Amino acid sequence: MSNPTRGEVTFDLPDPEGGPTKRYKLKFNNAGRIALESEAGLSQPEIDFALATGKVGATLLSAMLWGATRMHHSAQIRNKSMINAIMDQAEETEVMEDLSLSLIAAYSRRSKEEIREEIEKVQRGEEIPPDEDSDADAEGVEDVPTDGPVDAGPKDEGKKKKPEGGKSLTEVGRAS
């Protein structure tokens, strides 16, 4: 059975005026990933590369926040100005780093603590081992059989054949 909360991260945004803290649930479902790619103008591999190399600017963070809020908060966060307001408030209340960690954790489906540890390792110059999930030979994983090589058949199979009578439809059309 799958874990429905996997990849779901909470982010608390304090009110700079001292009002109640707002808690957001961030999760990238398929709609959220599509919204992220669309808003960022990047493909998933390009986003993965940006995150892996630390090349994450305000534009990508904004697109990530937009995508991560589609599942639980699309009714409350209806446009990009609302995203910008959340980011401004995160900067004002000095929780932008936590927001960034939350977004990266939700996107990579890992905990904020794991992301923080990985960032610290990179900063110390340590190598990061590959994800355990990426191991194709994992125990309990079975390869799905393939159909084998695709046979294209005889060389003339893809050519248009003339109908009986020797004329193609184009030639018949020209004769009329």
Parent domain of 62: 9-129
Which amino acid is it at 12?
Answer: D
Residue at 165 is within a domain: no
Residue at 134 is within a domain: no
Read off the pLDDT of residues 33-90 as tens digits, 9 standing for 90 and up: 999 999 999 999 999 999 888 888 999 999 999 999 999 999 999 999 999 999 999 9
Count up the domains in the chain and report the number: 1
- Cβ atoms of 27 and 68 closer than 8 Å: yes
CA atoms within 13 A on the CB side of 151: 4
DSSP label at residue 20: P
Instruction: Report the 10 Å Cβ neighbour count for 107.
Output: 24
Task: Report the DSSP pairing between strands 9-13 and 22-26.
Answer: antiparallel
Residue at 139 is within a domain: no
pLDDT of residue 132: 54
Which amino acid is it at 112?
Answer: K
Residue at 91 is within a domain: yes
Residue at 32 is within a domain: yes
**Pick from 2-11, 35-44, 139-148: least confident:** 139-148
The CA-atom distances, in angstroms, between 24 and each of 52, 66, 92, 127 are 25, 12, 17, 33
What is the helix (H) or strand (E) element at residue 37, kind and residue range? Answer: helix 30-40
The Cα 99–Cα 160 span in angstroms is: 59
Has residue 27 got a pLDDT over 50?
Answer: yes
pLDDT of residue 145: 65
Residue at 167 is within a domain: no
* Burial of 122 (C-beta count, 10 Å sphere; 0-12/13-18/19+): middle
Q: Could you identify the residue written with the tokens 């874990």?
A: 3
Between CA 36 and CA 79, with CA 68 as vertex, the angle to 5 degrees is 75
- Cβ atoms of 63 and 48 closer than 8 Å: no
